[in-house]
Amino acid sequence: MQIEKIQLLLKDITKDPSQKRQTIKEFQDEIWSCPDEESQIIRILRDLAHDLDYFEADPIKRSEDPSFYGEEQLAIEINKALQTIEEIQRKEDQSRL
């Protein structure tokens, strides 16, 4: 799995509303199909892929279940994951020096 590709997919989810559902599905498919690595980054991405199942853009449908969330929380979850991944990569890069 290429982390750069995954990071681009996550950024695309927040940028292109017309393709949001498709990009979420593409991200989830990519994560669920990757080998069972036990890296910290993979765990973060798998948690996020699971959490994205609870994204619901339609406020009426979202009101049916308190575990559903909307656009604002979607952006927060994705940005939090991206920041955490970048921090991990930075630490890994520093440890290689």
Indicate whether this model's pTM tops 0.95. Answer: no
Q: Residue 28: CB partners within 8 Å, gap ≥ 6?
A: 49, 52, 53
Cα–Cα dist 6/3, whole Å? 5
Tokens of 96: 């290689």
| pLDDT higher than 90, residue 71 | yes
> Mean pLDDT in the chain?
92
Going by pLDDT thresholds of 50, 70 and 90, the confidence category of residue 2 is confident
pLDDT at 35: 80
Mean of the pLDDT values across residues 29-39?
A: 85
The pLDDT tens digits of the residues spanning 45-70 come to 999 999 999 999 999 999 999 999 99
pLDDT for 52: 97
The string of DSSP letters for 9-76 reads HHHHHHH-GGGHHHHHHHHHHHHHHS-----HHHHHHHHHHHHGGGB---HHHHTT-TT-B-HHHHHH
38 pLDDT exceeds 80? no
Residue range 77-97: mean pLDDT, rounded: 92
